[in-house]
Structure 1
Amino acid sequence: MFVQLLCTVLVIINLCDDVSAAGRPRHIVFIVADDLGWNDIGFHNPDIITPNIDKLAREGLLLNHHYVQPLCSPSRAAFMSGYYPFKTGLQHSVILENQPVCLPLNITILPQKLKELGYATHIVGKWHNGFCSWNCTPTYRGFDSFFGYYGAMEDYYTHVIRGFLDYRNNTTPVWTDNGTYSTLRFTDVATDIIERHNQSQPLFLYLAYQAVYGPIEVPAKYEAMYPNIKSENRRKFSGMVSALDEAVGNVTKTLRQRGLMDDTLILFTADNGGGVDESGNNYPLRGSKFTVYEGGTRAVGFMYGSGLQKTGTVFDGMIHAVDWLPTLTAAAGGTPVSDRDGINLWPSLSTASPSPRTEVVYNYDSHPQPVQGHAAIRVGDYKLIDGYPGPFPDWYKPEQVTSSLNTRFSRDSANQYQLFNLKDDPNERNDLSNFRPDMVKKLAARLAWYKKQAVPPNFPETPDDLSNPALYGNVWSPGWC
């Protein structure tokens, strides 16, 4: 009782934010859902069955303006590094399995920061920050253990991509899980880590699910939860979301059984918007994964648990993926990180007070053929898109079948601006660029300031022959760059 009272007093003067109510360093569980759209979750869409996630979001802090990158490698690099991807060379597309590319090794990333604070650090699931060198891989970059895969995607059951295995326990290939659905397997590994964890040490668990990225595969019992959905792919996709929800419920159940839940801070986020060509959905937001519209970049997200003083509420302040390194480091009791693009939002999130972030850069890509939108910035309520916004520019309803050809903007639209007031027009239906040239000029100047800080995209066009898995026992493997 005395410790709780003392912490309550000290939080007011920001001296006790690094401990749980029990006076111990808090555990942190960082859950990433792959390609989960704005309209793919129960608390935004009652047709989707996600009771476990909905309960956490409803009883926690719902992040209403949480931004990520339009694709997965860039977002994951931002989570880990605290830098915008256009400063690490990862702004163009995703890291391909045969490219000698990884998140730059001279950056101290999130698990390394937390290890310095005494945390046990574990990653389960998707890495996708590069693996051509062992030094690029998770257990060489601050994680005590790794179970999952290095690349972008793979079969949920065989764990094979392009004919070769990408599935490891630490550094050892795992051949024995053929036929095991990855959402269930990753949950088993995560709950085992929680069950075996020494409670005297703070835990950082980065749980990066494969779900709900393609291929669209799910056990039949989850698909059967959606008999009213006519589209087979959307029905299966929705089942994948419900399998993910059950997985999250099993993780939180294990935390409670181990007596860790009251001392745990949970962060849940998508890595980008849903892919409308892969049955994901972001309605009523505009666009899709790949685009710098809100549908590609405004992510489903919430926090729950230890240190949040005002729960059951919505946080409307701006947040970007780059903010999680300084924010979680601060929540863990570390010295505030102030030398990166990310901002320490823990004082704001822990008290549900206004965010100090006033602008977000969605992307800046100088490659002549931008994949995930050329450039965009938000300052206050206004958002400017410069040039090509990405291949899916419309407003797509859940069962609407879409192809990448459905675009009204060509890749040659380099000089075309779009301007939106997101406060009045969150779904980006009214382009104000012809009516507010003053605002276009202001935001373009700000974007040009960031352009000066950008490094060239690190995206080799020619595959490296040394990456061939046939050279490594038919497994996608490090050691060739």
Structure 2
Amino acid sequence: MKFNFKLLLVVLSAFSVHAFAASDQKQPNIIIVLADDLGYGDVGFNGAKDIKTPELDDLASKGTKFSSAYVVHPFCGPSRMGMFSGRYPHKFGGQFNLPQPARGYVEYNKQGIDVNEVLMGNVLQDAGYYTGAVGKWHMGRGPKYHPNARGFDDYYGFLDGGHRYFPEDYESIYNKQVKAGNKRIHSYLLPLEHNGKEVRETEYMTDALSREASRFITQASAKDKPFFLYVAYNAPHAPMEAKAEDMEKFASIKDKKRRTYAAMVYAVDRGVGDIVKTLKATGEYENTLIVFLSDNGGKPEQGADNSPLRGEKGDAYEGGFRVPMFFHWPSKVPAGKVFNYPVSALDFYPTFAHLADANIPATKSLDGVNIWEDLLADKNPRKNSNIYVMRYRGADVDIGVRMNEWKATKVVNKPWKLFNINKDISESNDISAKYPEVLATMVKEAEQFNQSHRQPIWFDSEKAGEQWLKEQKGAKTPVFKNTFEL
């Protein structure tokens, strides 16, 4: 057999090129920017006319917008727990918001996201990432639930579900209550912390969180490793408090609630602009994936607009858990595109782990999928699979199920309805009579989904817990009367 030297050179050349290309692939920095209670229609890139969001719009136009992005739950705590665990919170007992500690529910105040859940931050840490979280946590207060114990090297913010915005206001009230000996001070008034130590904040909350995000990026850029940053703004969540100069920019909005809300959204937009400037100044911009979204839908009573969706925060209608979202990563994420297929915040965990070349523990259960290749190919990453939302109302439940073009919705005391959500985004034309077999299949799968759940570990109030326990009568999985009947 004659030795083919030329063929060997070709093979070696191809191998060396491939090896170089593989070694040249840097792990990307990853930033999640999460707004709080932001309406679907309240950013320019999603159609807002009265609210200016130039920084977000610029990133969205240079990246890919998601028209059918869903979060895991229609309100704060469970939504975040689902995103970071990659699992529906119903499966580990996190279906309710953790209660406000000042209410004094001692047992519930000791709870947090299951310590057996390996969170996204842990996996990225193990892959060599320097990790930081800024802002609202809302996944547990005790030492074993603290961000520093759940995958974050650096944390600046507040642990509960919200906070006042102006330090000159909340510090004054806090100090008076401490002086009066109040042992149950509302957590919206508490001092902020940096890695477990109290700090004295001096800036408007949204600006302070933006400052800390930039501080983290600057510090991270000096390290010989990629970084993961979670920026969890509490804006535009209540209390509705905006800077006077931001309010002036929206003087044309006559409704004061809407004007205040718009100013709070604008402050988030300004902060994102500061983050981008810091990325460019540190040379990290080109290798950073920025993901922007809201934790759930907006509340119209506080000035939000979820148009053209039906419903609001807390709903199983689209307005409760379908959110504005984009991915931005120069030369990696398609620019100027709209991805119309349904995706979930559950998908972040496996997708980011893929991009980071991170190892997900073999024992880790995930409800999300890696969407990366399908995103690039403009293909449905969740073809024929369901995205669920379940919100408990006392001992009853609202349910939404999205699969391909279909959306099945059930709210308390009303029958199941079916919509072609691609043609009827506002869920106004029930077509269940025309496609009964489609609805029947989706309802059956929703029932099977419910059977995989645990009873809640905590409740947002003692009354809710008492009512729930009375109705459930010791069942191992949540039981809802007639919910899954057509």
Check conservation: 2:315, 2:391, Cα contact below 8 A. no
1:206 to 230, 237, 240: 230
Partner residue in 1 for 2:6: none
Check conservation: 1:102, 1:136, Cα contact below 8 A. yes
Partner residue in 2 for 1:194: 217
Whichever residue aligns with residue 237 of structure 1, its letter is Y
Check conservation: 1:327, 1:345, Cα contact below 8 A. yes
Pair 1:360–1:10, CA change in 2 (3 A) = farther
- 1:152 equivalent to 2:157? Answer no
For 2:360 and 2:149, the matched residues in 1 are separated by 24
Within-5 A mapping of 1:327-346: 327-335=351-359, 339-346=365-372
1:37 to 36, 39, 50: 39
- 1:252 equivalent to 2:276? Answer yes
Check conservation: 1:73, 1:95, Cα contact below 8 A. no
Pair 1:219–1:367, CA change in 2 (3 A) = closer
Q: Secondary structure at the match of 1:317?
A: coil
Give the count of matched residue pairs.
420
- 1:112 equivalent to 2:112? Answer no
Give the TM-score, by structure 2 length.
Answer: 0.81
Check conservation: 2:308, 2:425, Cα contact below 8 A. no
Q: Secondary structure at the match of 2:257?
A: helix
Whichever residue aligns with residue 62 of structure 1, its letter is K
- The root-mean-square deviation of aligned C-alpha atoms, in Å, is 2.4
Pair 1:280–1:360, CA change in 2 (3 A) = farther
The Cα shift of 1:316 comes to: 1.2
Structure 1 stretch displaced more, 105-114 or 327-336: 327-336
Pair 1:102–1:308, CA change in 2 (3 A) = same
1:407-429 per-position Cα deviation (integer Å, ceiling 9, x unaligned):
xxxxxx1x621221112211101
Whichever residue aligns with residue 314 of structure 2, its letter is F
Partner residue in 2 for 1:431: 430
Partner residue in 2 for 1:471: none
Check conservation: 1:367, 1:457, Cα contact below 8 A. no
The Cα shift of 1:186 comes to: 0.8
1:277-331 per-position Cα deviation (integer Å, ceiling 9, x unaligned):
2111101110100101111111110000156252210111211111111111111
For 1:124 and 1:308, the matched residues in 2 are separated by 26
Check conservation: 2:400, 2:410, Cα contact below 8 A. yes
Check conservation: 1:26, 1:264, Cα contact below 8 A. yes
For 1:365 and 1:134, the matched residues in 2 are separated by 28
Within-5 A mapping of 1:398-417: 413=413, 416-417=415-416
Partner residue in 2 for 1:270: 294
For 2:333 and 2:74, the matched residues in 1 are separated by 31
1:105-139 per-position Cα deviation (integer Å, ceiling 9, x unaligned):
101001100011000000000101111x2101100
Check conservation: 1:309, 1:352, Cα contact below 8 A. no
Pair 1:367–1:244, CA change in 2 (3 A) = closer
Partner residue in 1 for 2:67: 64
Pair 1:379–1:263, CA change in 2 (3 A) = same
For 1:24 and 1:435, the matched residues in 2 are separated by 51
Structure 1 stretch displaced more, 300-309 or 440-449: 300-309
Pair 1:234–1:314, CA change in 2 (3 A) = same
For 1:423 and 1:347, the matched residues in 2 are separated by 23
Q: Secondary structure at the match of 2:462?
A: coil
Partner residue in 2 for 1:169: 194
The Cα shift of 1:180 comes to: 2.1
Whichever residue aligns with residue 220 of structure 1, its letter is A
Pair 1:283–1:10, CA change in 2 (3 A) = farther
Check conservation: 2:69, 2:343, Cα contact below 8 A. yes
1 or 2, which has the higher helix percentage?
A: 2
Pair 1:435–1:89, CA change in 2 (3 A) = same
Pair 1:96–1:456, CA change in 2 (3 A) = farther
For 1:128 and 1:107, the matched residues in 2 are separated by 16
Partner residue in 2 for 1:103: 113
Give 5+ residue unaligned stretches, structure 1.
Answer: 1-5, 389-412, 464-481
Check conservation: 2:40, 2:305, Cα contact below 8 A. yes
Within-5 A mapping of 1:283-294: 283-294=307-318
Give the TM-score, by structure 1 length.
Answer: 0.82
Check conservation: 1:75, 1:272, Cα contact below 8 A. yes
- 1:86 equivalent to 2:95? Answer no
For 1:381 and 1:210, the matched residues in 2 are separated by 32
For 2:224 and 2:335, the matched residues in 1 are separated by 27
Whichever residue aligns with residue 87 of structure 2, its letter is Y
Pair 1:309–1:155, CA change in 2 (3 A) = closer
Within-5 A mapping of 1:435-474: 435-460=434-459, 461-462=461-462
Whichever residue aligns with residue 26 of structure 2, its letter is R
Larger Rg belongs to: 2
1:432-461 per-position Cα deviation (integer Å, ceiling 9, x unaligned):
234433222111111111111011122344
Q: Secondary structure at the match of 1:383?
A: strand
